[in-house]
């Protein structure tokens, strides 16, 4: 089994897949191989179908089932070089609206953080629409304080993008990065290097609890809120798409369902 996992990992590295994608695909393939037990190179359509149906019966999310399916398609098509199609339809994704925080809730969360560096990190994630991985990987050289712009490098999908820098944070961030090396991480760990993703998430979770906000919000809700508030301010959805780095406009349009001024003006008949 290990030799097939190694081959799959090497192929993904050659194709410059992200570390997270490699980790996810290898986890799915290892699980599949354990269940299959033998003849890993033989593409068995019915076995794959029953394997995925078993995941569905165990209440795996549609997103997770799609991840397994994509991993298996990659293995048989790109590693084994089997040209047979795995003609299975993708599981229908749950159409959940993102959790969005109000401007007041954002301010309360930020105000509840006593550590200056941590407070700035959360504020910048909201003010620039950054993912948690993007904010911890941000380097001093990526920020242009004069132009109020930021260069987000090698984000999701290995894509670079330019996004806005909030003027309100200019003085505080300038003080934080003053006299430091341009290659340093903006929000460096006390032990050196960058903060971990989990550390940033814990900082947000503690701030959410301290602000006494009952929503099921996560660090990523800061990015959802950034997009929603821009649309509420009248920014065109295509500009929001560019700032978020979405490849497909439909991904950005989900936020138009969260903030619909016409719906908000309708009064209940009760």
CATH number where 75 lies: 1.10.150.130
- Please count the other Cβ atoms lying within 10 Å of the Cβ belonging to residue 258: 16
Q: Supply 98's token pair.
A: 């993102």
DSSP assignment letter at 192:
S
From 118, 119, 131, 194, active-site residue: 131
From 108, 151, 206, 220, active-site residue: 220
Q: Please give the residue range of the domain that contains residue 60.
A: 2-79
CATH number where 237 lies: 1.10.443.10
From 73, 151, 156, 161, active-site residue: 156
The H or E element that residue 63 is part of is: helix 62-74
Active site residue 223: yes
Active site residue 156: yes
Same domain, yes or no: 58 and 112: no
pLDDT digits (tens, 9 = 90+) for 97-146: 889 999 999 999 999 999 999 999 999 999 999 999 999 999 999 999 99
Q: Are 191 and 74 in contact (CB under 8 A)?
A: no
Q: Is residue 95 part of a domain?
A: no
pLDDT digits (tens, 9 = 90+) for 45-78: 899 999 999 998 998 888 899 999 999 999 999 9
From 118, 119, 194, 223, active-site residue: 223
Active site residue 255: yes
pTM, entire model = 0.73
Sequence-distant (6+) residues with CB within 8 A of 59 are none
Same domain, yes or no: 15 and 148: no
Active site residue 131: yes
**Helices 62-74 and 45-57: angle between axes, nearest 10 degrees:** 160
Q: Is residue 268 part of a domain?
A: no
């Amino acid at each position: 089994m290990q030799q097939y996992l190694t081959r799959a990992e090497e192929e993904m590295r050659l194709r410059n897949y992200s570390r997270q994608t490699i980790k996810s695909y290898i986890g799915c393939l290892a699980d599949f191989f354990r269940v299959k037990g033998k003849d890993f190179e033989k593409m068995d359509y019915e076995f794959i179908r029953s394997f995925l149906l078993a995941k569905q019966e165990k209440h795996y999310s549609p997103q997770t089932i799609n991840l397994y399916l994509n991993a298996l398609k990659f293995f048989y098509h790109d590693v084994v070089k089997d040209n047979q199609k795995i003609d299975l339809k993708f599981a229908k994704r749950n159409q959940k609206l993102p959790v969005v925080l109000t401007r007041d809730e954002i301010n309360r969360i930020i105000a509840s953080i006593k550590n200056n560096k941590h407070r700035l990190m959360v504020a910048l994630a909201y003010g620039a629409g950054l993912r948690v991985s993007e904010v911890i990987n941000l380097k001093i050289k990526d920020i242009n304080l004069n132009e109020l712009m930021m260069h987000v490098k090698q984000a999701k999908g290995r894509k670079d993008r330019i996004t806005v820098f909030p003027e309100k944070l200019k003085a505080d961030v300038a003080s934080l990065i003053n006299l430091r090396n341009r290659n340093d991480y903006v929000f460096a760990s006390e032990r050196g290097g960058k903060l971990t993703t989990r550390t940033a998430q814990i900082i947000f979770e503690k701030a959410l609890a301290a602000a006494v906000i009952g929503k099921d919000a996560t660090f990523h809700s800061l990015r959802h809120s950034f997009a929603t508030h821009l649309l509420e301010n009248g920014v065109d959805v295509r500009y929001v798409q560019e700032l978020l780095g979405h490849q497909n406009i439909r991904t950005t349009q989900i936020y138009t369902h969260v903030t619909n001024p016409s719906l908000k003006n309708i009064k209940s008949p009760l």
